[in-house]
Amino acid sequence: MEEEEKNVFTGKTYEEALNNARMELALPLEEIEVEVLEEGKKKLFGSTKWKIRAVEKKTEKTSDGERAAQFIDGLLKILGIEGESQVTGEGESIRIEIKSESSARVIGKRGDVLDAIQCMAGAVANIGREEYIKVVVDCENYRSQREETLTALAHKVEQKAVETGRKVILEPMNPYERRIIHSALVNSEHVKTSSEGKEPARYVVVIPDTAKPGDRGIRYGERRRAPGDRRTGGRPRGGRGFGDRRGKPRGDRRDGGKPSGEKRGKKEIIFGTFLGNSNDK
């Protein structure tokens, strides 16, 4: 077949010519682009055949990032959130930005919803890939703001660990946030960090060089109670203050704390109830 006759097919009807093209190209009809070169016509004696040129349709392949962004758009609709995603970078990693007026719903508490979206988008982007590529999904610049917050937290915890000479335990974090803490203190001359526990409650421990063996550590942000204080209200052990069950010098508790034999007035009953003294029942 000459060069100009390539991908040219004929048939008594258009359908026959198209079917010949489909068989030759081994493609479904929806993937074939057709150009009619000559229409078949009936003549007094016989007829002319249909002549068409058929080639494979040129389609732009969707990138891994675009496929992930399309998935996110569909997910937002399912969640009932107005918004759209846009691929802002593809290379060593894929970066996707979500634009939405309901950014708080997209981000969730401490980024838990955003992390879930990122995890699923990463799975979609890596379908069919031989080498895994990282996907970062952001909304309203949350990632960089969170990184700044965690970096500042890391240095505060470092200072506390050095001052107390004890391990400091942080609250559970996801792998992304734990890496930020580790990176912030990797060059510290006074502490080292480690991750302990099991997912999803895995946490970072900041360990000073002066920590003693067997130190169980202290939780960051935990307040110390005064010696002898109880957890329920902070009353001293053995104390006989207001409302203490063993403190009867102020009167039997059954009569609202009044000395035995003294009558209670109506106003005094209301006043005791207002203070929330449930033991007056």
Task: Give the range of the structural domain holding residue 168, as residue numbers without chain letter.
Answer: 148-219
Q: What is the pLDDT of residue 230?
A: 52
- Yes or no: say if 209 and 163 are a contact pair by the CB < 8 Å rule: no
Same-domain pairing of 69 and 136: yes
Same-domain pairing of 126 and 181: no
Q: What is the pLDDT of residue 247?
A: 46
pLDDT of 108 over the 60 cut: yes
Q: What is the pLDDT of residue 221?
A: 79
> According to DSSP H, which parts of 60-164 are helical?
64-79, 103-107, 112-125, 142-164
Same-domain pairing of 69 and 105: yes
What average pLDDT does the structure give for the chain? 81
Same-domain pairing of 11 and 46: yes
Residue 272: inside a domain? no
pLDDT of 184 over the 90 cut: yes
Nearest residue to 118 (alpha-carbon basis) of 192, 63, 175: 175
Same-domain pairing of 39 and 11: yes
Q: Tokens standing for 20?
A: 């010949």
Residue 257: inside a domain? no
pLDDT of 81 over the 90 cut: yes
Residue 254: inside a domain? no
Residue 20: inside a domain? yes
Same-domain pairing of 44 and 70: no
Q: Which of 86, 112, 140 lies at the terminal end of a domain, its last residue? A: 140
Residue 268: inside a domain? no
In the numeric block, the tokens 């006989």 are attached to 240
- Give, in degrees to the nearest 5, the angle at Cα 111 between 207 and 133: 85
Nearest residue to 90 (alpha-carbon basis) of 68, 110, 108, 112: 68
Residue 40: inside a domain? yes
Q: What global pTM score does this model have? A: 0.58
Same-domain pairing of 28 and 46: yes
Q: What is the pLDDT of residue 273?
A: 33
| C-alpha to C-alpha distance for 212 and 281, rounded to whole angstroms | 52
Percent of the chain with pLDDT over 90: 52
Same-domain pairing of 17 and 85: no
> pLDDT confidence of 277, banded at 50, 70, 90?
very low
> pLDDT confidence of 62, banded at 50, 70, 90?
confident
Residues 6+ apart with CB under 8 A from 127: 67
Q: What is the CATH number of the domain that holds 122?
A: 3.30.300.20
> pLDDT confidence of 185, banded at 50, 70, 90?
very high
Mean pLDDT confidence for 35-47 = 78
C-beta atoms surrounding 5 within 10 Å: 10
| C-alpha to C-alpha distance for 65 and 91, rounded to whole angstroms | 10
Amino acid at 234: G
Q: Which of 56, 75, 97 lies at the terminal end of a domain, its last residue? A: 56
Q: Which of 197, 219, 241 lies at the terminal end of a domain, its last residue? A: 219
Q: Tokens standing for 184?
A: 């912030």
Nearest residue to 156 (alpha-carbon basis) of 168, 165, 166, 147: 168
The predicted-structure confidence for 218-240, as pLDDT tens digits, reads as follows: 999 765 554 455 554 444 444 44
Residue 11: inside a domain? yes
Domain count, the chain: 3
Is the backbone peptide bond immediately before 28 cis, with ω within 30 degrees of 0? Answer: no
Q: What is the CATH number of the domain that holds 181?
A: 3.30.1370.50
Q: What is the pLDDT of residue 186?
A: 96
